[in-house]
Amino acid sequence: MVKPSKRKEMSSPIYVGREDDIKKLQRTTATVHGRQVVIFYHGGHFYALDCRCYHAGGPLHLGEIEEINGQSCIICPWHKYKITLNTGEGLYQAINPKEPSAVPKWKSKGEKQRTHRVTVDNGNVYVTLSDLMEYKESDYYAEKYKTEKIAEK
Ligand code: FES
């Protein structure tokens, strides 16, 4: 739990790079108020998420992006969990054995990975952390990796 005074301080936007550079690279990482964050530019939009996967702390900035069920998802390089860029939902495939066709359908596990707000001002990109009062599963790994350098491989 974050104290109210600390919450206010952590809600200020932090510069993470030039718009042109991030668009060219399509992703970058930054430390925002001590938190490892990955910023993606995909399909004409910016997204920011906690860098460490909610499952076991995998480095999401090293994953591939895929379109799943109409949503852009980052695929964690460690165990291939699928996480929507927009909302941080964990997706999985489920089969209803009572259905005769039994075709797997994509389902949501809920918002497991914390997402953050990205703003662009005069060619500069900023990330504002989301409200840390409501617990998300990726908070555990955000805290665990807080003092480490962001992995390059
Ligand atoms: Fe990301 Fe396991 S650590 S899928």
Q: DSSP class of residue 129?
A: P
DSSP 101: S
Pocket flag, ligand 1, residue 90 (CB < 6 Å): no
Q: In angstroms, how far is the first alpha carbon of the chain from the final one?
A: 31
- List of residues 6+ apart from 24 with CB closer than 8 A: none
Ligand 1 centroid distance, CA of 106 (Å): 18
* Domain-wise residue ranges, the chain: 4-146
Q: How confident is the model at residue 3 (pLDDT cuts 50, 70, 90)?
A: low
Q: Does domain 4-146 have CATH number 2.102.10.10?
A: yes
Is the CB of 142 inside a 6 Å radius of any atom of ligand 1? no
CA angle, corner 44, sides to 71 and 15, nearest 5? 110
pLDDT score for 39: 98
Name the percent of the chain lying above pLDDT 90.
78
Q: Averaged over 63-82, what is the pLDDT?
A: 98
Q: How far does the centroid of ligand 1 lie from the alpha carbon of residue 60, in Å? A: 9
Which protein residue's CA is at the shortest distance from atom 2 of ligand 1? 79
- Classified as helix, coil or strand, 61 is helix
